[in-house]
């Protein structure tokens, strides 16, 4: 079901919503209906568990095949955010596709294009898809191509030399020795020479 709203013309399209409903009858049978006219539903039946499983799967299929449109407006806002009345926040963020199902009621599954803020505030909703970011049309706005860093030089035998760069000829960089002060080193106590007390 596509919802038309009376929002100002911003070049954006209204957010879509699909509703799958399990309806019970007095003879303890039920039927499944979908707001999309072309969807085929199973016949009325007394196997409520099978119909409930079909309804949940049908809503999941709508969520899977629907392409989230980045130019869509928030469907929740079009309904004045009635899905989360205790937490009124302005709509913001990218467009996402949610599946909403209240397990206590267990009879209605809704698939909706909403903003990220409403998706986070809506109880019993799970995000199933996010809108792809549109490619920038301005060439200056496109990210520059990255050039991979040169691989470190390899030493024969499979060992890498962390100090060798791309322009190195393989010579090892060594630290210079400290200048000798002319003193000889005395062995530490308990080491070498057998001079113990």
Confidence band (pLDDT; 50, 70, 90) for 165?
A: very low
- The lowest-confidence range among 81-90, 94-103, 178-187 is 178-187
Q: What is the DSSP letter of 127?
A: E
Least Cα distance to 35 among 1, 76, 74 occurs for 1
Least Cα distance to 123 among 159, 144, 106, 99 occurs for 99
Check: CB of residue 59 under 8 Å from CB of residue 43. no
| Per-residue confidence (pLDDT) for residue 87, from 0 to 100 | 84
Residue 154: beta bridge partners?
Answer: 160
Least Cα distance to 16 among 65, 57, 52 occurs for 65
| Per-residue confidence (pLDDT) for residue 105, from 0 to 100 | 79
* Per-residue pLDDT at 188 exceeds 80: no
| Per-residue confidence (pLDDT) for residue 4, from 0 to 100 | 41
pLDDT exceeding 90 applies to what percent of the chain? 41
d(CA 44, CA 82): 31
* Per-residue pLDDT at 177 exceeds 90: no
- pLDDT tens digits, 125-157: 999 999 876 666 665 655 656 656 555 555 454
Mean pLDDT, all residues of the chain: 77
- Burial annotation 81-98 (CB, 10 A radius, 16+ → b, else e): bebbeeeeeebeeebbbb
**What phi and psi, each to the nearest 5 degrees, are found at residue 108?**
-135, 135
Count Cβ atoms within 10 A of the Cβ of residue 164 and give its class: 0-12 exposed, 13-18 middle, 19 or more buried.
middle
| Per-residue confidence (pLDDT) for residue 23, from 0 to 100 | 94
| Per-residue confidence (pLDDT) for residue 102, from 0 to 100 | 85
Q: Mean pLDDT, to the nearest integer, of 109-124?
A: 93
| Per-residue confidence (pLDDT) for residue 20, from 0 to 100 | 96
| Per-residue confidence (pLDDT) for residue 157, from 0 to 100 | 47
| Per-residue confidence (pLDDT) for residue 131, from 0 to 100 | 84
* Per-residue pLDDT at 14 exceeds 70: yes
Check: CB of residue 149 under 8 Å from CB of residue 128. no
DSSP string of 7-32, one letter each residue: ----SPBPPBEEEEEEEE-TTS-EEE
pLDDT exceeding 70 applies to what percent of the chain? 62
Length of the chain: 197
Least Cα distance to 55 among 107, 116, 111 occurs for 107
Residue 17: beta bridge partners?
Answer: 112
Confidence band (pLDDT; 50, 70, 90) for 115?
A: very high
């Amino acid at each position: 079901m596509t919802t038309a709203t009376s929002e100002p013309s911003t070049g954006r399209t209204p957010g879509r919503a699909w509703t799958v409903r399990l309806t019970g009858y007095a003879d303890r049978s039920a039927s499944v209906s979908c707001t999309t006219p072309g969807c085929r539903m199973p016949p009325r039946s007394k196997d409520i568990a099978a119909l409930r499983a079909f309804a949940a799967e049908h809503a999941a299929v709508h969520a899977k095949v629907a392409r989230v449109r980045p130019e869509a407006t928030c469907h929740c806002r079009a309904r004045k955010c009635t899905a989360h009345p205790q937490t009124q926040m302005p709509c913001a963020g990218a467009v996402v596709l949610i599946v909403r199902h209240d397990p206590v009621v267990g009879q209605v599954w809704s698939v909706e294009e909403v903003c990220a803020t409403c998706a986070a505030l809506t109880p019993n909703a799970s995000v199933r898809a996010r809108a792809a970011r549109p490619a920038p049309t301005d060439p200056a706005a496109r990210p520059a191509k990255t050039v991979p860093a040169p691989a470190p030089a390899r030493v024969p035998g499979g060992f890498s030399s962390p100090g060798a760069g791309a322009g190195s000829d393989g010579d090892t960089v060594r630290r210079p020795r400290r200048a000798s002060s002319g003193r000889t080193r005395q062995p530490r106590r308990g080491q070498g020479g057998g001079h113990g007390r």
